[in-house]
Amino acid sequence: MGKILQLPELLVNQIAAGEVVERPAAALKELVENSLDAGASSIAVELEEGGVRRLRVVDDGNGIDRDDLALALARFATSKIATLQDLEQAATLGFRGEALASIGAVSRLAIVSRRAGERHAWRLACEGGDLSAIEPAALAAGTTVEVEELFFNTPARRKFLKSEATEFARCEEAFSRLALSRPDAAFALTHNGRRNAHYPPEGLRERAARVVGADFAGGAIEVRAEGPRVSVTGLIAAPGFTRASRDAQYLFVNGRFIRDRVVAHAIREAYADVLHHDRHPAYVLFLAIDPALVDVNVHPTKSEVRFRDSGSMHGFVFHALSRALSAPLAGGAPPPASRSVEPRPAPMPWQAPLGMPQAASRYEALFATAVAAERAAPDFPMPGEPPLLGFALAQVHGIFVLAQNTSGMVIVDMHAAHERIVYEKLKDALDHASLPSQPLLVPIPMAASAEDVETATASREALASLGFDVAAVGPRELLVRAVPALLSDLDSVGLLRSVVGEMREFGASRVLVERRNELLSTMACHAAVRANRHLTIPEMNALLREMEATERAGSCNHGRPTWVQFSLADLDRLFMRGR
Ligand SMILES: Nc1ncnc2c1ncn2[C@@H]1O[C@H](COP(=O)(O)OP(=O)(O)O)[C@@H](O)[C@H]1O
Ligand SMILES: [Mg+2]
């Protein structure tokens, strides 16, 4: 070991730059965050060569005093906090006072800024850490920071930069997150002189349509929940609009884009019931939390946070989203028209996600229970509020129900819808007590393996809570005396076989607790799979009314949509009317 030396300030800043600004996208983020902290309502970002050659951020914020310009470039100099208490309460995006110093140490940087009431602007330049004199300059208002030749004096770092296209793509992603975080501000982005994005101040749904996509924003469900010191607002994808990758997931904690495993897990859990397991939900969520309950000072780029109480955070987010998702018809595919704001040809309805084609022969005794009641369902419009799904017109191939509502035409996948209705009923019944049981007039004998007989005997109570009454009548024979009332018209023996099989494999209590929803979903599937059954118009209307009244009826248990809306405009477009 040699002598210990105090490192010169430039080198310290260059080392810090490795953490704070490892690439142009990170510098972009720091500069735009400064603009937002300065109260800017309009921010323009201009890039050249992926931001490496040039990165310029122009804002209309409140500017920097002439006498503070040099300090802005000094390390650990900030106007945003002064004490430890401020740090714990910091509501600004920045507070560490190291971004400008770091960027200045590894680039050619210039700041031009003008405070309100000043006669002109002032300019300060910094080249690899060396400050220029402060000179008068021309600028209408706000601040412009220009960064040229990033890493020109740290060749090792520069070598780590990727191609221009890759660096630009990262800049674009950083820009998107910032633009999404503040829909009320105007944002513009240009690359090599070409305009890439131009967003006016607008609402979240409009901004999300531009940044995430019109398909997401059109059908997204609004979330709004408030707790004592925390709130969550934003948009989450209708279950039918999930993605194969995690790309469209935006979480902002106190205005800052954050990756957080606790919140991500809570969101996934909330979708568990409406989402196919290999799909990912899309969302833009804003969590506002008392700064004292969250530590943002975990990481130099502040991309992670630590919640004081992550358990209650998890619960809060989970419940807020579950509630939003359980709205009865959330997730029904919106009309094709709202999926695109671009003037390209509208998607044809057969491209709409109608759910997987089901063999018609698999539909037999559909609605054994759900519709049997035929509850005084009207097959003519009633006075008062028109029902959302309208009134049934016909059945198509024993698979779909065609209905007309106020905005146009609705197609319902009977099987998918019925499966969800039965599933929600089963869950609800089991939540409140046990599933109601229907005694069989003639008990059914059932041949079973010795193991299954043993399992069924040992799990009698668990089976009873599901509505089954089963007794062993021989070493290899069970007698089924009662079956779940909600499912009584079905192949109860087949169903019992699979339930007992599950209990044998996982144990009765685990099946009822941990695997409960999977089990009920299987039961619902048994109940809904068969039916090429002809439905009468009142039966179809009863199904529509049940859907309107059932939580999560917009998607089947596997996350596919149960219904699709075609507006009159969609239909007109199909026939090229009015062109
Ligand atoms: N665009 C801007 N408009 C107004 N003031 C700015 C701007 N950019 C930087 N500043 C000032 O420079 C200071 C240092 O900025 P920075 O190094 O990013 O640290 P921090 O944002 O953590 O305070 C800020 O505290 C702020 O006072
Ligand atoms: Mg900053």
Angle subtended at Cα 510 by Cα 504 and Cα 513, rounded to the nearest 5 degrees: 140
Please tell me the pTM assigned to this model. 0.72
DSSP label at residue 116: T
431 Cβ neighbours under 8 A, 6+ residues apart: none
pLDDT-flagged residues of the chain (< 70): 330-384, 488-490, 528-532, 578-579
Q: What is the dihedral of CA 429, 434, 436, 437, to 10 degrees?
A: 150
Query: How many Å apart are CA 84 and CA 498, to the nearest integer?
Result: 61
Atom of ligand 1 nearest to the CA of 35: 1
Residue 131 burial (CB count, 10 A):
15
Distances (CA, A) of 128 to 8, 53, 55, 64, 161: 13, 15, 16, 21, 18
* pLDDT for position 302: 81
Residue 83 burial (CB count, 10 A):
8
* pLDDT for position 531: 54
Return the bridge partners of 384, or none.
none
Alpha carbon of 291 to ligand 1 centroid (Å): 20
Alpha carbon of 97 to ligand 2 centroid (Å): 6
Q: For a ligand 1 pocket test, name from 69, 96, 98, 100 the mutation site with the most ligand atoms within 8 angstroms of its C-beta.
A: 100
* pLDDT for position 241: 76
Alpha carbon of 240 to ligand 1 centroid (Å): 43
Task: Give the binding-site residues of ligand 1, using a 6 Å CB cut-off.
Answer: 30, 34-35, 38, 59, 61, 63-64, 72, 78-80, 94-101, 143
Instruction: Judge contact between 257 and 26, C-beta under 8 A.
Output: no
The region, left, alpha or beta by phi > 0 then psi within -120 to 50, assigned to residue 444 is beta
* pLDDT for position 521: 85
Residues 154-204: tens digit of each pLDDT: 988 898 999 999 999 999 999 999 999 999 999 999 999 999 999 999 999
Angle subtended at Cα 397 by Cα 392 and Cα 398, rounded to the nearest 5 degrees: 70
